[in-house]
Chain A
Amino acid sequence: MAQHQVNYAQDGGLPVALTTVDKVVNWGRSNSLWALTYGLACCGIEMMASGASRYDFDRFGTIFRASPRQAELMIVAGTLTKKHAEFIRRLYDQMTEPKWVISMGSCANTGGMFNTYATVQGVDRVIPVDLYLPGCAPRPETLQYAVMMLQKKIRREKAIKAQKPKRLM
């Protein structure tokens, strides 16, 4: 094999170094995280405050969408009841890949203070979670910090890969 010949088996079969493409795509993805409005309880108020003018989520490119088809980030803000678990799963499945989930507040992380029969003990029993945000309720700064951590995580990921479908099972 001649030396100049490209080894197509290397680097995912593309004749370019993937790092730059990765960077560009991930830069775009991490700065346009459109979030699905998912305020379930008191944490939802903090999420709304983060979106409003004082904390201003728009400057991160995080714009709340009311449709799962337009969203790639789900901020589960609040208490997930067992009655609602079915619907959160359905909405998660309706979101297009790639998608990420932030579990906001104690209730979404572990069920929080609602150690009862009617509360799901952590949304990760139903949908896969990328980032757990502690607090009851986390302040808007904390949610912003969580989004920035998620951006950091996205920038670390490979952009052009077969998206491994994130399923809990």
Chain B
Amino acid sequence: MRRYTPKDDVQKKPYYTDRYWVAPQVPKYPVEEDEVFAEDLKAIKKKFKVDDAYIQVEQMVVYIRSEDNFGVLQLMRDELGYTQLSELSAIDRLAERGQFEVFYQMLSMQKRKRVRVKMLIDEHEAVNSVEKLFRSADWAEREMYDMFGIKLNNHPFPKRILMPDDWEGFPLRKTYPLQGDEFAAWYEVDKIFGKEARDIIGPELRDSAMVDRYDTKRFARLGHEVPYGAEFKADQPETPLGYQEEEGVFMIEKFDEEKSVVISDRDR
């Protein structure tokens, strides 16, 4: 059984005690331990500069130079048999070292191996598109631009894919607030009604735990329907539930419990 820890004051404690805690890494092994990977790495090293390479969780990770990415992927596709690009995106390491880490996850069906090609790019550096090699890179690169703001060379349609076209900011950057910046907070109001409507509509209510049972404009009393904006004080009688007027409605039959049949056999 799991050891019991008292949880009464758990809310008072900060969730993370160490903000800069670094998760333990999965062990890395030298590439020579796997024959197939060693061969592949040799072929890549023959033509391109490789900064680092190791095996992690049975996959080879290769760090290359950012200007070589098209060449390396072409080599891997045409000569090494890595015919699929299953995933491509970036990791924000701007705070850590002022760079983005772009990764390409490659799959070879013949060798039954996966290789992750990684490269580090500067914040404003544009990346060569690999869309001409792999069609799957089309949308993945657009998403990379959408989420991180990484620009692409030679992409056929370099446009945002998930966020609206007129969006400002790149949401997957670590500096982007989860609940959105000022632009995001007012986006729909600005777009539909115009900036001058901000005062009328008011800011977003982001406190999801807020409940005010006497505020009938924004909250209903549980189990009782309250008309919008009705005056309600603590000592008032309860409003009973009712889906129809007491006297009934013209030509509409009211549900009669006496006359109904309860089916208890669910498989009937």
Which residues of A does B touch, CB under 8 Å? 23, 27, 31, 82-83, 85-86, 89, 110-111, 113, 115-118, 120-122, 125-126, 132, 134, 145, 148-149, 152, 155, 168-169
A127 to chain B, nearest CB (A): 9
- 10 new A-B contacts, CB < 8 A, other than A111-B204, A116-B178, A126-B192, are A89-B192, A110-B205, A113-B208, A121-B205, A125-B204, A132-B220, A148-B243, A152-B242, A169-B200, A169-B201
Which of B47-55, B77-85, B103-111, B183-191 forms contacts with chain A? Answer: B183-191
Q: Using known A-B contacts A110-B208, A125-B189, A125-B204, determine if residue A116 contacts B180 with beta carbons closer than 8 Å.
A: yes
CA distance A132 to B181 in the complex (A): 28
A31 near B243 with CB under 8 A, answer no
Q: How far is the CB of A102 from chain B (nearest CB, A)?
A: 13
Q: Is the CB of B220 within 8 A of A120?
A: no
B206 within 8 A of A: yes
Q: Residue B4 at the A interface, CB < 8 A?
A: no
Q: Is the CB of B204 within 8 A of A121?
A: yes
Query: What's the Cα separation between A118 and B243 when bound, in Å?
Result: 36
> Which residue of chain A has the shortest Cβ distance to B194 in the bound complex?
A169
A27 and B249: CB pair below 8 A? yes
Q: Which residues of B, 170-198, contact A by the 8 Å Cβ criterion? A: 171, 176-181, 184, 187-189, 191-193, 197
Report whether A117 and B177 are in contact in the complex, using a CB–CB cutoff of 8 Å: yes
Distance from A77 Cβ to chain B, minimum over Cβ atoms (Å) = 18
What's the nearest-Cβ distance from chain A to residue B201, in Å? 6
Q: Is B263 an interface residue (CB 8 A)?
A: no
8 closest residue pairs by CB, A with B: A117-B180, A85-B188, A148-B243, A121-B204, A117-B184, A83-B164, A82-B187, A89-B192
- B242-267 CB contacts (< 8 Å) to partner A: 242-245, 249-252
B225 at the interface (CB under 8 A from A): yes
Q: Could you say which of B197, B201, B208, B242 has the most chain A C-beta atoms within 10 Å of its C-beta?
A: B208
What residues of chain B lie closer than 8 Å to A125, measured between beta carbons? 188-189, 201, 204
Contacts of B244 in A (CB 8 A): 148, 152
State in angstroms the CA–CA spacing of A110 and B189 once bound together: 15
- B197-231 vs A, Cβ < 8 Å mask (1 yes, 0 no): 10011001110100000000000100001000000
Docked-complex contact A169 and B193, CB < 8 angstroms: yes
The listed residue (B177, B191, B242, B245) touching A155 by CB distance below 8 A is B245
B163 located at the interface, meaning its Cβ lies under 8 Å from any Cβ of chain A in the complex? yes
> Is B188's CB under 8 angstroms from A120's CB?
yes
Specify which chain A residues have a CB less than 8 angstroms from the CB of B184 in the assembled complex: 82, 117-118
14 inter-chain pairs at a CB distance below 8 angstroms, sorted by A residue, are A27-B251, A83-B163, A85-B192, A86-B188, A89-B192, A111-B204, A117-B179, A121-B204, A126-B192, A132-B220, A145-B243, A152-B243, A152-B244, A155-B245
- The residue of chain B having its C-beta at the shortest distance from the C-beta of A130 within the complex is B228
Residues of A contacting B249 in the complex (Cβ-Cβ under 8 angstroms): 27, 155
- Cβ of A86: which chain B residues have Cβ within 8 Å of it? 188, 191-192
Docked Cα-Cα span, A20 to B96, in Å, equals: 74
Q: Determine the residue in chain B with the shortest Cβ distance to A117.
A: B180
User: A residues within 8 A CB of B181?
Assistant: 117
Provide the bound-state CA to CA distance between A82 and B180, in Å: 11
